[in-house]
Each structure stands twice: as structure tokens, then as C-alpha cells.
A and B are shown apart, each in its own frame.
Chain A
């Protein structure tokens, strides 16, 4: 799948870097698809460990972080990131198929900016991303 890059020269690629972390390939696929459509630069990881590696390699502006993952779960990643001064400015949206209030609080208290439950509306996710990154002017389609 080729990436489609936005017409307008977006601000530094850095600013549009998004890391999608989920153990489900299809989820990565769908999220990557729409986000790229919106002009973001999307990379992915399928587990927490891989995620950390990718972060170190290239610091994204925002992470979409699934909770239930093998090896290292989303909370752990979140905490690690937030505890790391050099990484703590990364915005984090946590995604989970667990739907309880406790999880939401847990996520938010771990430092996530937002917490969204699956199944989510892709549009909602995109909007949220834009909101957090302050890219409100983007429209698609």
C-alpha cells in the first residue's frame, strides 16, 4: 500500500509523526490508512517492546496505543514514556477493547491524553488526533 502524502507541504515530518501500536494487524492497517490519508506519517509496532524501540528511533508526536498487548502492555508503555523526560511530550491516545471506567481512569492516570474504546469510529480517532495535535484545519475527502 503506497502512502499518499498530503499536497500541502506539511510542517516538519516530525510534527506529523504518529506511531500506531496494536497487536492486531488489521487495526494497524485501518488506522494507518486513514491517518495517512490525513497526511500523517504513520509508523507501527505490534507490541510494547517494539513500540519503545520505534520511539527511540524516531520520536513521534503522538502515539495510538493499544492496551492489551503481549510482552509489554499499553499502560506500561505509557508510563515509561511519560516518565522519560525526553519522551514525555509525546501525546498518547490509548485504545482498548476493554470498556470499563476503571480502565479509562487507569489510562488517564498513566498519563494518556485520551482513552478510546474499540470499536471506535475512525473519524472520531482522526478528529481526536487532530485536536490533540492542534491540526484542526484538516479536512479530508
Chain B
């Protein structure tokens, strides 16, 4: 303020001036105060004079707080430090312009201001500095943001991998490009900007360019268009270009983003080449479909590329593997790494190919795809299969071999073993043998030998068929045969051996058996020879015995004829002749008797006897002898003794013989006693219900050692007293045969010097035996009729008589009715069958030659019908067709004309057979000696057997075939076909081969037994061995008893 002041008028003027000043000050103040911009007034000494409200508002500092403050001002940020002071100073020196500064508020927040400053000068001196601020914080922020954004954009723009360019739509010139564009094209920014693509000769492919333009025209934009671009260097690059319209600075432009896919393309190309040239099948599947298949893959699958591409890849996979493949694909997509797997493809021609594949996830044309490498392993698979089968076969063979196989290493440890070996040694599993020492399979005593042999085997290569004693798991030993081969490796070094073990227990046993059999055969042969010798000696003895009296007869006859002697001498000689003749006769008789009995040819006439009668007869017979020698003979016969069944003459013979022996061996004056009583033996069994007869004498007695041999043929024990006729040596043996035939026993009790007692027992007649035995009901039974009765009697038995001739039927009906049968008649085959079915006769007699249906057919029909097959059929025919009849099932056969006797015999037997057939064994007796057959049959039937008979080999075969006996007794010497022939045939026919055959022969033949056995006989008996032996043999065979 100028201090030009008037004094007077001074007050008003002064007042006016003061007013004017005040107004001006107020104006200035309100200007300052109301200014929206922060203003600060600074004194020349830099203390704050004044700050306006805006200033306060902005900074947060009130005037009151900061008035008079000197720098540093509180809004000066510390970090600006010196700089800000310097700048301030400058400003004060009027060297400031417009600046922007960043200050801080009271609360620490920052603000940007544009600073203008002025100085107020008065009279040439600065009195104030005015700082005018403009709050440019927002602007600054915006600027910052923009700058940041621009920076970001620029960064992006420039750093983006893809080439970006912006072209002006107006002139197609590039107005902006990024670095990538430079890399892509090889041109720098300067070279590109303001030039067009055409100028730069970027487009290589005209087609592409056309397409590009077309797309742009149609759609205004493009997406991933592939195009070839030429670089500055001339190199061609491939890009994927996407274009979009864009507005730049108000001008319509186009922004194009280009992905450089050159490498990728190259890679793809390389890949494709690789794939195509690969020997392995390669495919690429994208979205489940083939997008690429190399030639190999096409070759494998038989499909061409165009067939494959676009098809679902799973279509080719074998149904059984589809699931697995699908799962693998899923797993791979999830990122799991997959190892190669095997799968089957069904190829074009329908075959199944085995392949092994590796799949990897790849990028293909910008998308995820699966790359598959596929190798046909069909051949390998087939080879594997073949190998597997072969191995299986080998394994099967290995396992199923009947011999055990063991593979053993050099230390003797079992490394491989087959099931058979396991079983053979009695182990349960292979595990028990793996890894174990092979020596535990061998008996300790053979260890040394086997070790030595194994060494040999390794050296020599192999060693065969060595026998050792092997061990089972439980410690039992068994014989084994081992063959060992060395196992060598590729360098022919032995690594162990393979041993084949055979359990030869069976073989050994058989060897033993064979040896045993050979021994037995040898023994039998020896025995046979001995027997023959014995027989020889027996024959010799008999021959000798016969010839001896004969010699005398002849000699003395000769003498009498040659010499004339006196009458005394003549008489003497004639007496000798007579005696010897008698002796000879006796001998012959005895011998024949014995032979007959033994051979079973004796014709027994079994009747019920009373012992009384028998003994009496015997006594009568020997009376003459006793009178001469003054011997006392007594008889003590029990009262009411039961009857016995015996042959009368034979029993008399026995008693007579015993008596005459007693007489022979008892000196004059001695006593002989005959006793007969019931023997109720203390021991149960055979001797109960027997009668016992004894003949005791006071003779010389028999030593203990001789007591058995008295019953042997020709064993004369002791000397007969000289005036008694010499015995034949056969008497007692004959007695024995007779007694034993009837089921009794004969023996002697004696002491030398104390006399002897000969005893025998016989079974008493049993009530049931009458019926069971083939004895007739009365002793005076007709001897002509067969002594056979049917069980239960004949009454009521139905016979169906079939014959077309009325006469025959009438005759049979008459005869059979007389014999107690109930007879049905049929005149023809058909009627026969009907009647048989309706009436079920017990037996059928059947003619063969009939008009309607012949007898053979009837037989066949009836035997095939379960209802009638058990009815026995007796074929009566004029035609000799036995074989056919039997084959068809006929039970017996007779030719017409026949005798009623034989017919009834056969009928009886057939009727009986049916009753006892099931329960009893049937024996076929074959011998041309009919009486022998009869005798054997009788005895066998008594023993409960059912007996068929045949008289020659042929008949034997027929009977065997037709009746299937359980056993055949076969004579050898027979007419037509001998026993050997028959046996051969029987053994040859399958339906008779199994029937055991006992050969009986009367012929002394050294090789006979051997021959018989070799032809197939089960046993061989001499007829002279006796019935007991025969029975024992039969029972032995049929019931598997020992002995026989």
C-alpha cells in the first residue's frame, strides 16, 4: 500500500481509501476463499501466510495448523527430499513454470497438483508468493491407468506369440504390427508400417488369397485360415490367420492375428512321412474316429485309407476287447500313462488279427488326438498259441506219462517232477518234492550205487533201465527201474539229468509169479513124472501081480504037457494051476473093482440096508475059513439100528474082506468079533448120526507106522500066515473106496501082538435124504428107470406137447399122463406159442418140422419172451439139428425115435433143473463112458450140483453153449472129437471160453497135464484119483477154495 496519504481530508479520504482497501481486500479474500483451487500464500521468508479452504480441504491441513510454518512444509513427502527444496527455491527465484508435483496429505494420502506460482511485488519488493495449485490427482490416476493399460496392451501386443497386424481398411496398409509379425514376416516395423501386404509380397498362394478375400467379403471376418506367407528372406511360413474388424482412431481397420504353424506343419509333415514309412501301423484317432492311418495300418486291416478315415476306431476292435480298449482310451485321456497292450482286430476279410499297441496323446491339428502304434503280432500270437499248445501237450504228456519223470540238478536236488512221479512215491503234491534231494526217494542201501550210476549217466550221456529199491513217502520200499539222461546246456556242459522212473512192483510181482508158476509147473511136471513113475509102479505092480499067477499057470501047464509025471505030481501041479487061476481071478476082480470105483465107473446100486442082513451075509461067506482054523467068530449087532444107504453087495464085500483079513492074520484058536452100533460121536459133525461097524481080531496086530499104509494098494503089511491064501493087496483099498463113497470113514486101531480092530462108519438114512437123494422110494425100485425123482413129485407138472402129427401127440399124452404129468397139446408152432404164453407149462416137448412155424422159430420166440423164456424146452425131432436148437435156447434135444425112458429121464432132469438151477452150480460131465458119466452125475447131484451130460466132444460143445454150465468135466479120449479138440473149441468161443474145464483122463500120459493146461484146462485129474479129489477140485474152482 502506498503511503501517500493527505492529512486532512485525510480522514474521509482515508476512510474512503480504507474502505476501498477493505473492499479490495474482501474481494481478494473471497476470491481466494471461494476459489475451488487450493491456493497458498507464502511470505517472503517462506512462512505460510495464508491457505485457502480448498487448500485445507485438499491437504487436510488447516490454516491454523500451518500458518507461519516454514519449509519443509508438511505436505512435502519425505522421499522427495532435496529435490523438492531445490524446486521450491527455483520457484521463489521466479524460475518456475507449470510443474506437477505429488504431495501428501495430512492423513498420508497422496495427491497430484499442477503448481503455478506468482509473486506479488510492491514498490519493487516481493511481498508475497502466491502458489496456485490445480488438483490433478484424478487426471494423473487416469493418465496412470491409461499409461498402464497402454503399457499392458503394448506389452501384450508386442510379446504375443502370434503375429498381429492392424491394417486400415481404407488402403489396406499396415498401421500397426507386433514383434511376432516381424518374426513371422522378417520385416521390421518400419518396413511394414504404411505398406500393404501386396507390396511386401506376403501371399504365396493365390488360391489362399482368393479364399481369404472371399471369406472376408462374406463374413467380414475369418477364423484360422491356413495360408502360406513369404518372408523377407524368401522362406515360406505357414500361418493360421484370424481377422476381425476393428476401429482405430475412428477409422475402420482390420486386426489380423496369425499363428505361425510352420513348425507344426513341418512336424506334421515329418510325422506323416514317418508314419507312412513306418513298418508299424500308425493311426491317429480323434474324437473316436480315425483321422489318419498309415499304409501299414491299411495293409494290416485290409481297409483303404478312405474306408478308415472317419470311421469309429472301435469298430475294428474285436468285440471281446472293445471294452478294454475303450477304458484304456479313457484312462489315457485322463492323463494316465499306458503301457503297450495286446488286442484283437477284426480285419476286412473277417480274420482276427492280434496286435500290440502303444497309444499316446498328441495334438493333431490343434486338438487332442490319440496316436496309436500298432504291430501285428498275429504270427507271434499264433506261434505263442502253438507254443502254448505244444507246451500244454508236452505238459500233459509230462503229466500223463505212466512213468514218473524227474529233473534233477547237479546237486541232486529235484527241480522238476511230474504228477506220476509224485504219486508213485506216495507223495501228495509236487511241492513236497521240489527242491528236495532226490536221494530221499531211494532206499539208503542203494544210495551209493545210484550216485555212481548217475555220475556215469552224466559222463556217458545216459544210462538205462537200472533197478533200484525206491522209497515211498511213508517209508515203504518198492522196486523201481530208472533210466537217466544227462541234461546239457548250450555249451554241452551237464547241468543235471532227467530221470524216468518206472514202478516195477507189478512187473516184479509178475516175474515172481511167472517164476513161481514156472516152478510150480516144473514141480507139477516133476510130480507128474513121479506120479507117472508111481503109476508106472502101480501098473507095474498090478501087471506083476497079474503075471505072476499067470506065469505059474502057464509054466505048470507047460510042464504037464511036456512031461509025463506021475499022478501025484500031476495032481499037485494041477492044484497049483487051479489055485493060481483063482488067485488071478481074485486079483483081476479086485483090481477091476478098485479101478472102477476110483474112476467113478462103478455102478452102485444104492439101497436102504439093514446092517443085520449085511453082516450076516458076510459071516456066512467067511464061515468056511473060520471052521478050518478053529477061530471063534462072534457078532454083536445093536438092536433097532437105523438103516443105511449103501450098495448091498459092496458092503457085504467090505465086511467079508475085513473078516477074511481078520481070519488071515489071527492064529488058530483066536477070536474075531463083529460089532455094529449107532455112533453118537462126542464131536459134532460128520460122525454123529452114523453107524459104526467094527471087526476085531486077536491076531498079530499092526504097527502104528503101518496102520495107514494098510489101506494103500498092494501094501502087504506083515506076513500072512502061510496056510492062508495070499491076498491080492487090494482088499482094504477097495473097502476104503466103498466106505468113503457112501460118506463113511474106515480105519484101524491096533497094537502089534494085541490084535487089530478095523472100524468103519456109515451115515444113517436121513428122512430128507430120501427125497433129495436120487434113491428110489423103495429098495425094489425098478432098476430100468432112472433113479431120479423130481423135487416135490411129478404130480401136477404141466407138459406142453408140440407136434404136428396127431399120433405122436396122442402117444406122448398117453404115456406122460400115465407118469403123472398133466399134458397140453399143440399141433403147430403158433398154437404152441399161444398155449405156452397162456398156460405157462413147466416144460415143453417140441417137434421141429411143422408146417406153420417150425420148432426152431418157436424156440426162438419163447426164449426171447421174458414171460416164457424160463420154460425148459425139450426138442424132439427127426432132424439132427441139435446145434441150432441149442443155439436158439433149447434146453435139451432128442431125436425120434426115442425111448420113453430117456424121454422121462430128460424131462425129469429139465424139470428139476429149473427148480434148482438158480441155487446150484451146473456141471457138464463129458465122457464117452456113459456109465461113468452116470456115476459121476449121481455123486455130483448128491453133492447138490446140477449136472448136464455129453458123450462126445461135439455134444459137449453144444451143451456148453446152450446150457452154460459153471464147470465142465472133460474126458480126453472120446470118439468123434476128443477132449483136447473140444477144449480148444470151447476156449475159443467167447460164450464158453470162461467156463472152467477139469480134464479127466484114464490114460497115463506124461505130458498130458502140461498139454491140458496149455490148451486151457483149469485142472487135470486122473480118473483114478478118486471122486473125493474130483469133488475137491470142483469145489476149489467153483468156490475159490484153496487146494483142489
Residues of A within 8 A of B (CB): 1, 24, 26-27, 29-31, 33-34, 37, 68, 96-100, 103, 117-123, 140-141
Contact = CB atoms under 8 A, between A and B. Distances in A.
A134 B555 CA distance: 23
Given A97-B548, A119-B554, 17 more contacts: A24-B551, A26-B576, A27-B555, A30-B558, A33-B559, A68-B540, A97-B545, A97-B546, A97-B547, A98-B540, A98-B543, A99-B547, A100-B536, A118-B550, A118-B551, A122-B558, A141-B562
Interface string B548-576: 11111111101100110000010000001
Nearest to A140: B562
B503 interface: no
B558 to A, nearest CB: 5
Contacts of A120: 551, 554-555
B728 to A, nearest CB: 14
B557 to A, nearest CB: 9
Contacts of A29: 552, 576
Nearest to B545: A97
Nearest to A33: B559
Interface string B311-348: 00000000000000000000000000000000000000
Contacts of A34: 555, 558-559, 562-563
A34 to B, nearest CB: 6
B551 A27 contact: yes
* Most-contacted residue by chain B among A30, A103, A120, A140 (CB, 10 A): A30
Contacts of B509: none
A120 B559 CA distance: 12
A3 B547 CA distance: 27
B884 interface: no
23 contacts: A26-B552, A26-B555, A26-B580, A27-B551, A27-B555, A30-B551, A30-B552, A30-B555, A34-B558, A34-B563, A96-B544, A97-B540, A99-B547, A100-B540, A117-B547, A118-B547, A118-B548, A119-B551, A119-B553, A120-B551, A120-B555, A122-B562, A141-B563
For the complex of A and B, 7 pairs with smallest distance between CB atoms: A97-B547, A30-B555, A97-B544, A26-B552, A118-B551, A119-B551, A119-B554
A121 B547 CA distance: 12
A99 B543 contact: yes
A24 B552 contact: yes
A27 B552 CA distance: 6
Nearest to A23: B548
Contacts of A98: 540, 543-544
A100 B542 CA distance: 13
Given A30-B559, A141-B562, A119 B547 contact: yes
A68 B558 contact: no
* Most-contacted residue by chain A among B556, B562, B569 (CB, 10 A): B562
Nearest to B547: A97
Given A33-B559, A121-B558, A122-B555, A27 B548 contact: yes
Contacts of A122: 554-555, 558-559, 562
Nearest to A24: B548
Interface residues of B, number: 24
A58 B558 CA distance: 30
A119 B555 contact: yes
Nearest to B552: A26
Interface string B984-1009: 00000000000000000000000000
* Most-contacted residue by chain A among B545, B552, B553 (CB, 10 A): B552
* Most-contacted residue by chain A among B540, B541, B555 (CB, 10 A): B555
Nearest to A99: B543
A121 B554 contact: yes
B548 A30 contact: no
Contacts of B563: 33-34, 37, 141
A97 B544 CA distance: 4
Nearest to A68: B544
A9 B789 CA distance: 82
Contacts of B549: 26
Contacts of B559: 30, 33-34, 122
A29 to B, nearest CB: 7
A39 to B, nearest CB: 14
Contacts of A123: 558, 562
Nearest to B540: A98
Contact of A97 (B536, B551, B555): B551
Contacts of B555: 26-27, 30-31, 34, 119-120, 122
A140 B550 CA distance: 24
Contacts of B553: 119
A71 to B, nearest CB: 13
B530 to A, nearest CB: 15
A79 to B, nearest CB: 19
A125 B760 CA distance: 48
A24 to B, nearest CB: 5
A121 B549 CA distance: 14
Contacts of A117: 547
* Most-contacted residue by chain A among B545, B554, B558 (CB, 10 A): B558
* Most-contacted residue by chain A among B536, B541, B544 (CB, 10 A): B544
A118 to B, nearest CB: 4
Nearest to B536: A100
Nearest to B577: A26
Contacts of B536: 100
B814 to A, nearest CB: 59
A20 to B, nearest CB: 12
Interface string B393-406: 00000000000000
B550 A119 contact: yes
Nearest to B716: A70
B712 to A, nearest CB: 16
A100 B544 CA distance: 11
A141 B558 CA distance: 13
B567 to A, nearest CB: 14
A122 B555 CA distance: 6
Contacts of A141: 562-563
B543 A30 contact: no
Contacts of B576: 26, 29
Nearest to B576: A26
A103 B543 CA distance: 13
Contacts of A103: 540
A97 to B, nearest CB: 3
Contacts of A33: 559, 563
A117 B551 CA distance: 9
Contacts of A97: 540, 543-548, 551
A24 B551 CA distance: 10
Contacts of A140: 562
Interface string B586-621: 000000000000000000000000000000000000
A82 B536 CA distance: 27
Nearest to B541: A68
B498 to A, nearest CB: 63
A30 B331 CA distance: 132
Contacts of A27: 548, 551-552, 555
A78 to B, nearest CB: 17
Nearest to A29: B576
Contacts of A31: 555
A24 B580 CA distance: 11
Nearest to A95: B551
A140 B558 CA distance: 14
B483 to A, nearest CB: 54
A69 to B, nearest CB: 11
A33 B552 CA distance: 12
Nearest to B722: A25
B537 to A, nearest CB: 9
Contacts of B544: 68, 96-98
A68 B545 CA distance: 10
B71 to A, nearest CB: 174
A29 B548 CA distance: 13
Contacts of B543: 97-99
B555 to A, nearest CB: 3
A37 B559 CA distance: 10
A122 B556 CA distance: 9
